[in-house]
Structure 1
Amino acid sequence: MPSNAPLTTYQTPILAEWVDYNGHLRDAFYLLLFSYATDAFMDHIGLDSSGRKASGHSLFTLECHLNYLHEVKQGEAVEVRTQLLAHDRKRLQLYHSLHRAGQDEALAASEQMLLHVELAGPRSAPFAAPVLARIEALAETHRALPRPAYVGRVIGLPG
């Protein structure tokens, strides 16, 4: 994908143990796929296992919104694409979308707010300069991407 496209952060076939009694991917496993994509995103910005060990820093998820858009069945090859929506010195707002490999239609979407933490506390901490530089470079390439449809959604019944 071009550098100004969302990152493809995770690819996998849908495993039999992830499928429910209806023959569909269980709801919890959508979040598992997005969690693995977040791990790959962390690797991309320098918070891989060696970076976490050396710095004593990691990311914690503060909030997650998950939208189930289409059925996903056993054996399908899927991929997660990740877009950096916003950041500040301690937080990241990510958007993950799940797709059949190589296809545009989103099967699920997840907006997430992540906090950079010093694990010894644990307490929030600013990103180290090299990590922040990677985040800012990615933010610049993702700035031109369209705002995803499932960002900023709220659950609630009318009235």
Structure 2
Amino acid sequence: MPALTTYRTPVLPDWVDYNGHLRDAFYLLIFSYATDAFMECIGLDGDNREATGHSLFTLECHLNYLHEVKLGTEVTVQTQVIGHDRKRVHLYHSLHREGFAEALAASEQMLLHVDLAGPKSAPFEAAVLARLQGIVVEQEDLPVPAFVGRVIGLPK
């Protein structure tokens, strides 16, 4: 299985800057919507959140801007599960447009499963873990993306 297609949208007029490019913050908005769709895919949809009081919180996010994205461009987000344990999931989102092979942007994210009553970390339910593991197995032949594990810093 390839990476999951989790979100699709045109770049809207309110999302572009004075250069006609997608503003920095809206890359993250698009990836955030992809995370919401991923949550639905693994069973953490609105009904589950209401019934269990559990959700995902973002612990860390790295965002790489790789190519310009202009007004009106139809973009899609591909999502790959890099790994997970009983409380966390490590995701990689990449932004694409049809007819262009390279990713336009990439976002590596660490998410924590949380009991909102605390709030405090909580183990995933068995059904959610099973869905996560199923995706991992389906994606096991995918290479580790180039922008996973990067660190920001100036050369010394």
CA distance in structure 1 between the aligned counterparts of 2:53 and 2:87, rounded to whole angstroms:
15
The residue aligned with 2:121 is 124
Is 1:108 aligned to 2:102, yes or no?
no
The residue aligned with 1:39 is 36
1:1-150 alignment runs, 5 A limit = 4-101=1-98, 103-150=100-147
Counterpart contact for 1:85–1:142, Cα < 8 Å: no
The residue aligned with 2:149 is 152
SS in 1 for 2:37: helix
- Relative to the length of structure 2, the TM-score reads 0.98
Deviations 1:10-33 (A, max 9, x none): 000000000001110000000000
CA distance in structure 1 between the aligned counterparts of 2:73 and 2:42, rounded to whole angstroms:
29
CA distance in structure 2 between the aligned counterparts of 1:110 and 1:97, rounded to whole angstroms:
6
Deviations 1:12-61 (A, max 9, x none): 00000000011100000000000000000000000010011111100000
Q: Which runs of 5+ in 1 are unaligned?
A: none
Q: How far did residue 142 of structure 1 move?
A: 1.2
CA distance in structure 1 between the aligned counterparts of 2:47 and 2:69, rounded to whole angstroms:
34
Closer, same or farther in 2 for the Cα pair 1:46/1:102, shift >3 Å?
farther
RMSD: 0.8
- Relative to the length of structure 1, the TM-score reads 0.96
Q: Which runs of 4+ in 1 moved over 6 A?
A: none
Letter in 2 for 1:62: L
Letter in 2 for 1:117: V
Letter in 1 for 2:153: G
CA distance in structure 1 between the aligned counterparts of 2:100 and 2:78, rounded to whole angstroms:
11
Identity, % of aligned positions: 71
Q: How far did residue 144 of structure 1 move?
A: 1.3
